[in-house]
Amino acid sequence: MEQPALAPRPWTARQLILPLAAAAAVVACLLAVIVAARQTGGGGAPPEPGPMAMPAGAGYATFTVERADGGRLTVSGGTGAGEFAVPPGTRVWVLEPIGPGDLRPGMRAAVVGVPNEVRNAAVRAIVVGEGGPEGATAGPFAGHEALGEAAALPIVTGRVERVEAGRMVLRTAAGEASVWFAEGAPLFAARERTFDTVGPGDRVGVLLDAAGQPVPAAGLLVLPGE
């Protein structure tokens, strides 16, 4: 069968599922989180900042699930539909909405946002997980791969050191960062589930090989649909 299209398409109203956000999801996300970071060590005046730089990530594609059964996913996305096999034992992480009270020290966290022209970013989600290789949030995933928005990338990542007074304190490669939560913050935990939890309407992030083909055996990151 023809391979599924690899280019993620923009979210539609049906597919933009942020259960903790208000109806005006983008506005809520913009107002929900304030991130402040300070670099440790060194004194004196800070250097003049350069252009906003985003971390490089693994190649991935985001699809919408049309059907999931018999170890196969029928998906749509980009320019058409397709199908691929999901080997037995494939690990599946589901983005489940949580509150600040569910955060624990030691979790890996990623603040996912879309950079803008004023050297800032519109926050789309905050994802926490048990961590993975090379600083990943859950398994091989950073946390943005199932969102379906190509411009969304992790803008702050680190380990949760503590949660206090409405904020999460992260230990990042640049030092300590604080993330303040407002009501309706789009906060998710990437929790490991089984393939039979995947269903129609879900968005699924899949890593790609060097030829740009999906590698579901590497794992699936799922954002539940309606």
**Interval 171-187: pLDDT, tens:** 999 999 999 988 888 99
* Cα 27 from Cα 32, distance rounded (Å): 8
Q: Determine, yes or no, domain membership for 49.
A: no
Q: What is the mean pLDDT of the chain?
A: 78
Over 90: is that where the pLDDT of 32 sits? no
Which residues are 125's β-sheet partners? 112
Q: Could you give the CA distance from residue 112 to residue 126 in angstroms, rounded to a whole number? A: 6
User: Is the pLDDT at 15 greater than 60, yes or no?
Assistant: no
26 exposed, middle or buried (CB, 10 Å; 0-12, 13-18, 19+)?
Answer: middle
Answer yes or no: is pLDDT of 33 > 90: no
- Range scoring the smallest mean pLDDT among 3-7, 109-113, 126-130, 174-178: 3-7
pLDDT of residue 92: 97
20 domain residue, yes or no = no
The answer to the question of residue 148 being in a domain is yes
In a domain, 83, yes or no: yes
78: pLDDT strictly greater than 50: yes
Residue 163 pLDDT more than 70? yes
pLDDT for res 12: 35
CA distances to 62, 82, 115, 147, 175 from 150, in Å: 9, 20, 12, 8, 28
Stretch among 19-23, 135-139, 152-156, 179-183 having the lowest mean pLDDT: 19-23
pLDDT of residue 147 exceeding 50, the answer is yes
pTM above 0.85, yes or no: no
* Structural domain total, the chain: 1
Residue 30 inside a domain? The answer is yes
In which band, very low, low, confident or very high, does the pLDDT at 58 lie, cut at 50, 70 and 90?
low
Q: What is the pLDDT of residue 80?
A: 57
The arithmetic mean of pLDDT across residues 121-130, rounded, is 92
Q: Given a cut of 80, is residue 89 above it in pLDDT?
A: yes
List the domain range (segments joined by +) for residue 79.
Answer: 25-38+58-223
Q: Which of 180, 205, 162, 221 has the alpha carbon at shortest distance from 62?
A: 205
Residue 183 lies in a domain: yes
Max avg pLDDT among 93-97, 129-133, 146-150, 164-168: 93-97
Q: What is the mean pLDDT of residues 204-216?
A: 92
CA-nearest of 186, 225, 201 to 24 is 186
For residue 18, tell me if it sits in a domain: no
Q: What is residue 70's predicted lDDT score, i.e. its pLDDT?
A: 87
In a domain, 86, yes or no: yes
